[in-house]
Amino acid sequence: MKKLKQRMLFLVLGLMIFAMTGCVDQSGAEAEGTNVITEMAAANIAVEEQGEKVSEEKGQTEGVNSRNSFAVDGETAEVKQAVNKQIQDTDEKNSESEQRIIATSAATCEIMNQLGIVLIGVPDTTVSTIPSCYDDATRIGTPMAPDMEIIKSLKPTDVIGPDTLKEDLKIKYDNIGVTSTFIDLKSVKGLYDSITLIGNKYGKEEEAKTLVTEYNTFMDDYKAKHVVTEKPKVLVLMGLPGSYLVATNKSYAGSLVELAGGVNVFPSDEKDFLNVNPEEILNTDPDVIIRTAHGLPQEALKMFAKEFSENDIWKHFRAVQEGKVYDVDYMVFGMSATFEYPQALSDLEPMLYGE
């Protein structure tokens, strides 16, 4: 019995030891499983952290690349603008270099100067002054008789002059195969219409607009200050060597009278100058007689002095009797409209309206 109990005790103890051994093995397995899981979790966490780090670095890299791309695009835009500007400047220079323009009168040269247009040829003149910026330009002869051989040799793209000479010169330019442009300089309005025309033709629109605006402003102020109630009748004579002509309202000198508020006694719809004898002129009974000159001004003024002193008919003019005969500056009252018209209007005021 005792042995049986001992055996039973040993059996129980054996079972307990076995059970405990199984538990230890199971715990080990579970521990190993737990370790595996822990290691996998750690690995996953490490991977996730590494992934986040990589993503963050990638994001930073993409941000930098984006900024770099923006900078490159910005620089590219600036470069493109600079290149386009250079191309534009080059085109303008090439365009200007292709423009070989000749001006045949001093008044035309002054228009070109005001618009900033380069000239390769200008006229010879001892009466007027050519702007100094054209000192290096080739002299092509006088305005009324330019040298066609010189003009042809310059290979101009355009020859520009006053339309008062069109009838004489147009055919000559055509004969040598040269393009010509004739502009209206017979009045101040014609002057500024011509400025607009040339400005549009040669890309100087803004310069032309500025000049036209200045003219309009001046005339508005002038008219506001000079309200004329009684318009004086004026005879304008243009002296030439050995003779003279009557300047109508269609001529520059004649148009200045009307611009100043007077009445030209010889109006015309077409002619700028008329050949009229003194007897016919006497019938107009002008209040004022203005004498200017063209060509050889000093010779013309001498001619006027002789004509008025020796031709008895002039003594019958009321303007002569009242001492209202005036010789004006041919540089201001010439054949073509110039930017001196404000001075011309100022000179006319005392002649037409008294001091």
**Whole-prediction pTM:** 0.69
Q: Are strands 325-327 and 288-293 parallel, antiparallel or unpaired?
A: parallel
Q: Are 148 and 176 in contact (CB under 8 A)?
A: yes
Q: Which two tokens stand for residue 203?
A: 């890309």
One digit per residue, the tens of pLDDT, for the chain of length 355 reads 444 445 544 444 444 444 444 433 433 333 343 343 343 334 343 434 444 443 444 444 444 444 444 334 444 555 556 545 554 554 444 455 589 999 999 999 999 999 999 999 999 987 788 999 999 999 999 999 999 999 999 999 999 999 999 999 999 999 999 999 999 999 999 999 999 999 999 999 999 999 999 999 999 998 888 777 789 999 999 998 778 999 999 999 999 999 999 999 999 988 999 999 999 999 999 999 999 998 778 888 889 999 999 999 999 999 999 999 999 998 899 889 999 999 999 999 999 988 6
State how far the alpha carbon of 326 is from the alpha carbons of 256, 262, 302, 304, in Å. Answer: 15, 15, 14, 11
Domains in the chain, please, with CATH?
101-221 (3.40.50.1980), 229-353 (3.40.50.1980)
Three-state SS letters, 83-142: HHHHHHHHHHHHHHHHCCEEECCHHHHHHHHHHCCCCCEECCCCCCCCCHHHCCCEECEC
Q: Which two tokens stand for residue 227?
A: 């309200």
User: SS3 for 325?
Assistant: strand
